[in-house]
Amino acid sequence: MLRKIIQWIIFGVVLAIVPLVVALLIRATRGQSTELVDLLRNGELLLVTAGIVGAAIGDLLGGNRTQPIFELFSGGACVLILVVSSILYADVSAAHASQQTVNIAVIERSSLWLFSGGVVSSFFCVVFSEL
């Protein structure tokens, strides 16, 4: 199980945020703001979150059913986070495309909360898929 958790951390979480880290480095090399709000304003972390929880749902569905109640909670949390992240990203993207004003602070907070919840629930999906 430890191997699966390490694999998930490296390939499921760390590699998923590489595009955001690269975007931060590119902004820094161009002398642009590297504040978190500037990095999250377009909702990219929501896409990363959707990818992480989507993969975890796949892991959970392919595993044994040794802890069905806990699997339902962690899998259900992942599905909920996937749906909310996807809808919020679509809304933020559409708002930017139509040049509507959005509350950047809400996007930043929502992205961080959904990402945090997604990482935690994904972790449990991976753990329960290995039990």
What are 60-97's pLDDT values in tens digits? Answer: 887 777 888 999 999 999 999 999 999 999 999 999 99
pTM tops 0.85: yes
88-97 pLDDT, tens digit each: 999 999 999 9
AA identity, residue 89: Y
**Amino acid letter, residue 109:** R
Q: Where are the domains of the chain?
A: 2-130
Planar angle of CA 83, 87, 92, nearest 5 degrees: 150
State how far the alpha carbon of 6 is from the alpha carbons of 1, 11, 27, 48, 70, in Å.
9, 8, 30, 18, 21
Give the distance from CA 81 to its chain's centroid.
8
